[in-house]
């Protein structure tokens, strides 16, 4: 029987390190060279390390992760899928963390109390389904999933998948942690391997050490500017070098967390003395001892750092000594510049210089060190009678961090200048922010220490321009209230702000308050998981139909996305989070944020049945009712952003047969495959431009669908002419099996029987 505790047991670590000792020599022998740290971890988790094909970016590999972590918004659909598999309990340690459904409005206490009432039905479902199937359950208020995982479960050398795109946060503690959709999580929870294309390796060689205003946040903001939002797609980013060893564990986690913004499969750092110190500080002394005894194995082989180029598909060099603090945005996390340049650029671009809000926290920057450095600025300001000129909201990452910064007076420092503390939850970072200020009505600028800044991401308003920086930079700007400021050189009332400072770890240790974990009972026979058939928030799933063996002919084009089409555009969060467990209801948001070439405004399109402009979900429902399969067209990097599989399940539920795009983000592409949809790429990206509103599309010869074999299509234009075109894909034999069965879950269900 699989057991799950509030923390990883040392016995599990010992077992993995024994495995590492066996597989690392196999890796060296098979590759004929020393190994990077990422390769060591992968070999330890290959189902068949002796025979796995090792072509980076080409081979599909089977991995056996050590655990699964889910947040409450994505766990609903993942566990609804797991329930249909017919198994008595999960096969690997798995946890559910309640952090996404708490809306920020009044402050920590009031917002948490409101969430307990408004989300009672969902929380009760998650508690009962966790107890029934052997999952650990973390109560609302206990913390943001990625911070709790870092504090309780992560350890060097391990592998985890999680139903949130920022799961790679755990790479800060040297763990291969990969964000996935719920169907991938179900595979692992039922004991099947995790199937993924073997990632390429991008090395990031860090030299020097950060000082003054420069922080770990600035490293990833610079990397995002270098690689762009799709430059890490299909790759693991491995950071190494003296600069890497100079960073705290939580600083490394910040960097790994935001690797999601460049499409990386995951990011990670080798283990070092800071890893051991963090494990001890978080009360995991036995694991700290094990890591300390194996540090030589939990890092790159020495030859890698001596001459890194032969080991990586791409190498980036960053000197932390010369790195200036960064600000990125608005609208995308790869639009970066140094803080010294933001004022002039804001004036040039016409962005509002006044900051309507400043926000510190989220899963990315809510550690003890983050809040300590932010509080050092606040302490200086308070001593001079200064208060914030723009509202400042602060989110601790976990109850353990909150209790510690409260004990050490850091929250008082921030409150003294006017900050408001929010609940230990995601809040404004994911659109769970109920703004009532007048500034929100028009175009306005906000500055956050979050990870994602797409339009509508934080408050549901496309008028809000979101910029991202480190927590200490955010607090500095809060004190002046506008972007035309450089905290490194510009004084406030005649005095420069001193450089921020803060301990990596609390000198008094972390506070003991960390309640909120519920272990599953040993006897689950009397637990019944109930879903009210009339519920608006939860709905049992009906399996998708298998492929009928026919080609897809004369499909109308529901929409043609122009520019960014992120998962926020495809299936918005914010208020829609309440329907994450009800596929029918949440499908009413399908493509509402998409800039459609065939609509007068976002979320609108042309219905070929009614010959009228309607909302895209309405059109999809009309096609579904008429038995008409449809296709959607994407631009570059379709599905960028969150791991939310609703962005794949909704089009599947409403009758889509395929998504054809110029390119796909990794998680989005996998999620489409899992649900039995075809993610296809234009072989000639110019074909995208030929598709018009009233065209229909054929996808042909599907009976011959095979790996590496192009797929042929035909556009039927409204004038009677046709255009033949070619599509490529990344479907493996397993993926084609999912397509023919109707979904990956259908195969799991059949095997369970």
Residues annotated catalytic, as ranges = 99-100, 164, 452, 642, 644
Helix (H) or strand (E) run with residue 444 in it = strand 444-448
Distance CA 181, CA 672 (A): 10
Helix (H) or strand (E) run with residue 132 in it = helix 120-133
Report the relative pairing of strands 604-607 and 711-716 from DSSP bridges: unpaired
Residues 175 and 82 sit within 8 Å (Cβ to Cβ): no
Dihedral sign for Cα 287, 289, 292, 296, please.
Answer: negative
67 forms bridges with which residues in the sheet? 160
Q: How far is CA 290 from CA 277, 463, 647, 686, in A?
A: 12, 51, 41, 55
Q: How far is CA 124 from the centre of its chain?
A: 25
Distance CA 367, CA 365 (A): 6
All residues at 6 or more sequence positions from 686 whose CB lies less than 8 Å from its CB, including other chains: none
Residues 659 and 679 sit within 8 Å (Cβ to Cβ): yes
All residues at 6 or more sequence positions from 322 whose CB lies less than 8 Å from its CB, including other chains: 208
Q: How many residues does the chain have?
A: 753
| Closest alpha carbon to 399 in 102, 161, 170, 4 | 102
Distance CA 17, CA 7 (A): 18
Alpha helix ranges (H) inside 138-268: 145-152, 182-189, 216-227, 242-245, 249-257
| Closest alpha carbon to 203 in 232, 162, 173 | 232
Q: What is the DSSP string of 618-658?
A: HHHHHHHHTT--EEEEE-TTBT-S---THHHHHHHHTTEEE
Q: What is the DSSP string of 252-318?
A: HHHHHHGGGGGTBSEEE----HHHHHHHHHTT-HHHHHHHHHTTTTSS--HHHHHS-GGG-SEEEEE
Q: What is the DSSP string of 80-99?
A: HHHHTT--SS-SS-EEEE--
Backbone angles phi, psi at 684, to 5 degrees: -110, 110
Distance CA 434, CA 703 (A): 50
């Amino acid at each position: 029987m699989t057991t799950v505790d509030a923390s990883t047991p040392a016995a599990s670590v010992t077992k993995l390190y024994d495995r590492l000792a066996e597989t690392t020599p196999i890796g060296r022998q098979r590759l004929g060279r020393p190994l990077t740290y990422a390769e060591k971890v992968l070999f330890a988790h290959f189902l068949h390390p002796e025979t796995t094909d090792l072509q980076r970016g080409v081979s599909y590999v089977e991995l056996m992760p050590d655990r699964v972590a889910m947040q409450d918004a994505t766990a609903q659909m993942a566990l609804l899928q797991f329930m249909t598999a017919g198994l008595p309990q999960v096969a690997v340690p798995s946890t559910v963390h309640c952090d996404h459904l708490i809306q920020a409005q009044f402050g920590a206490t009031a917002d948490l109390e409101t969430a307990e009432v408004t989300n009672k039905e969902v929380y009760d479902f998650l508690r009962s389904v966790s107890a029934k199937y052997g999952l650990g359950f973390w109560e609302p208020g206990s913390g943001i999933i990625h911070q709790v995982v870092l504090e309780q479960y992560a350890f060097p050398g391990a592998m985890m998948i999680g139903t949130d795109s920022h799961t790679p946060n755990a790479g800060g503690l040297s763990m291969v942690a990969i964000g996935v959709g719920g169907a991938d999580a179900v595979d692992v929870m039922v004991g099947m391997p995790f199937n993924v294309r073997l990632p390429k390796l991008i090395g990031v060689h860090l030299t020097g050490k950060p000082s003054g205003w420069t922080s770990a946040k600035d490293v990833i903001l610079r990397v995002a500017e270098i690689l762009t939002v799709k430059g890490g797609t299909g790759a693991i980013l491995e950071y190494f070098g003296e600069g890497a060893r100079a960073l705290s564990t939580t600083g490394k986690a910040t960097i790994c967390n935001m690797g999601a913004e460049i499409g990386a499969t995951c990011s990670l750092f080798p283990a070092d003395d800071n890893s051991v110190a963090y494990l001890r500080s978080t009360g995991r002394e036995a694991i700290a001892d094990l890591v300390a005894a194996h540090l030589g194995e939990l890092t790159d082989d020495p030859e890698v750092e001596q001459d890194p180029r032969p080991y990586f598909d791409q190498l980036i060099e960053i000197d932390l000594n010369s790195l200036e603090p960064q600000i990125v945005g608005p609208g995308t996390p790869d639009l970066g510049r140094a803080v010294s340049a933001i004022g002039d650029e804001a004036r040039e671009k016409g962005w509002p210089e006044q900051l309507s809000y400043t926000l510190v926290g989220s899963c990315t920057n809510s550690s003890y060190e983050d809040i300590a450095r932010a509080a050092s600025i606040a302490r200086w300001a308070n001593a001079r009678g200064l208060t914030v000129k723009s509202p400042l909201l602060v989110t601790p990452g976990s109850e353990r961090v909150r209790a510690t910064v409260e004990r050490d007076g850091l929250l008082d420092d921030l409150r003294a200048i006017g900050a408001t503390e929010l609940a230990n939850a995601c809040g404004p970072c994911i659109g769970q922010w109920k703004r009532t200020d007048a500034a929100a009505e028009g175009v306005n600028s906000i500055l956050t220490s979050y990870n994602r800044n797409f339009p509508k991401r934080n408050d549901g308003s496309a008028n809000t321009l979101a910029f991202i920086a480190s927590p200490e930079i955010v607090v500095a700007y809060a004190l002046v209230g506008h972007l035309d400021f450089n905290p490194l050189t510009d004084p406030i009332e005649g005095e420069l702000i001193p450089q921020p400072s803060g301990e990596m770890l609390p000198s008094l240790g972390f506070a003991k308050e960390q309640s909120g974990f519920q272990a599953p009972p040993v006897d689950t026979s009397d637990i019944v998981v109930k879903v009210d058939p009339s519920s608006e928030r939860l709905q049992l799933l009906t399996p998708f139909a298998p492929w009928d063996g026919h080609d897809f002919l004369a499909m109308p084009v529901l929409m043609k996305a122009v520019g960014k089409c992120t998962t926020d555009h495809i299936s918005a969060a914010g208020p829609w989070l309440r329907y994450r467990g009800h596929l029918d209801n949440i499908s009413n948001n399908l493509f509402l944020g998409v800039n459609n070439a065939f609509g007068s405004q976002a979320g609108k399109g042309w219905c070929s049945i009614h010959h009228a402009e309607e909302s895209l979900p309405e059109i999809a429902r009309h096609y579904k009712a008429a038995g008409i399969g449809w296709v959607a067209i994407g631009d570059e990097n379709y599905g960028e952003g969150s791991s939310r599989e609703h962005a794949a399940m909704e089009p599947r539920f409403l009758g889509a047969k395929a998504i054809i795009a110029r390119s796909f983000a990794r998680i989005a592409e996998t999620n489409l495959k899992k649900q039995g949809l075809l993610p296809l790429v234009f072989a000639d990206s110019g074909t995208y431009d030929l598709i018009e509103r009233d065209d229909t599309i054929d996808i042909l010869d599907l009976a011959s669908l095979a790996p590496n074999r192009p797929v042929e299509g035909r556009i039927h234009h409204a004038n009677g002419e046709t255009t033949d075109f070619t599509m490529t894909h990344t479907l493996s034999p397993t993926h084609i099996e999912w397509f023919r069965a109707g979904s990956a879950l259908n195969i799991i269900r059949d095997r369970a029987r």
